[in-house]
Amino acid sequence: GENVEQHPSTLSVQEGDSAVIKCTYSDSASNYFPWYKQELGKGPQLIIDIRSNVGEKKDQRIAVTLNKTAKHFSLHITETQPEDSAVYFCAASRMDSSYKLIFGSGTRLLVRP
Amino acid sequence: SQTIHQWPATLVQPVGSPLSLECTVEGTSNPNLYWYRQAAGRGLQLLFYSVGIGQISSEVPQNLSASRPQDRQFILSSKKLLLSDSGFYLCAFSLGEGGQYFGPGTRLLVL
């Protein structure tokens, strides 16, 4: 079945530096790739997504890139701030009638002030 | 805009007791609905999903069941809780052609 691998599992950066989280997926039919941010004790929040017909998408300090050939996609956070500290999950979907998401295992990001 | 509610926020239950967690969505119709479980410090495990009233798909065999009695209501149940049922339970909805949107979650502790 579909599998999504996410790296690294933990990431510590200095405030102001950039952070990059990478995911790979196995199902070549996947065509939708969202990213979620989960703060402690809360539900995951959708922060950005990308579809397979686009190679890159940016929203202020957050960007996502997709390489369909290599089945890789990445989250880039620039000018990190302490409030960016959270667990980030990537996911992939075929966007069939179930709209099920296959999630990565998560990355715990710590931004040091 | 759409909103999703879950209750209770926290729950402490003895082993062998029944369970009922409720999730409701407002501001939309005919959403896909999902139940996930998240163990402490771990990822998201999809338990059930529903594409319509009365339509439930189970992703993993377990001690839990789900029902969708109304279009925007999704219920997670158990007849007898196990210690291993402890976790953070998340409900989510999807409108199709986009991501899933999660509720605030229910933290369940089975003692």
Instruction: Encode chain A (113 residues) as per-residue pLDDT tens digits.
Output: 789 999 999 999 999 999 999 999 999 999 999 999 999 999 999 999 999 888 999 999 999 999 999 999 999 999 999 999 999 999 999 878 888 999 999 999 999 99
pLDDT value, residue B41:
81
* Residues of chain B positioned with their CB less than 8 A from the CB of A100: 34, 46, 49
DSSP state of B80: S
pLDDT over threshold 90, residue B82: yes
Record: contact A95-B97, CB cut-off 8 A: yes
Output DSSP code: residue A93. B
Separation CA B105–CA A97 (nearest Å): 25
Place of tokens 């004790």: A41
Answer yes or no: do B100 and A105 touch at CB < 8 A. no
Q: Is B18 exposed, middle or buried (0-12, 13-18, 19+ CB in 10 A)?
A: exposed
Under 8 Å between Cβ of B103 and B31: no
Instruction: With beta carbons less than 8 A apart as the criterion, state whether B45 and B38 touch.
Output: yes
**What's the confidence (pLDDT) of residue A93?**
92
**Is B99–A46 a contact, with Cβ atoms under 8 angstroms apart?**
yes
Q: B75: which strand partners? A: B22, B67
Looking at CA atoms only, how far is residue B105 from chain A in angstroms?
Answer: 6
DSSP for residue B59: S
Enumerate the residues of chain B whose CB falls inside 8 A of the CB of residue A89.
Answer: 43-44
Q: Is the peptide bond between B8 and the residue preceding it cis, with omega within 30 degrees of 0? A: yes
- Chain B hits for A41, CB-CB cut-off 8 Å, are 105, 107
Assess contact for B79 and B66: CB atoms under 8 A: no
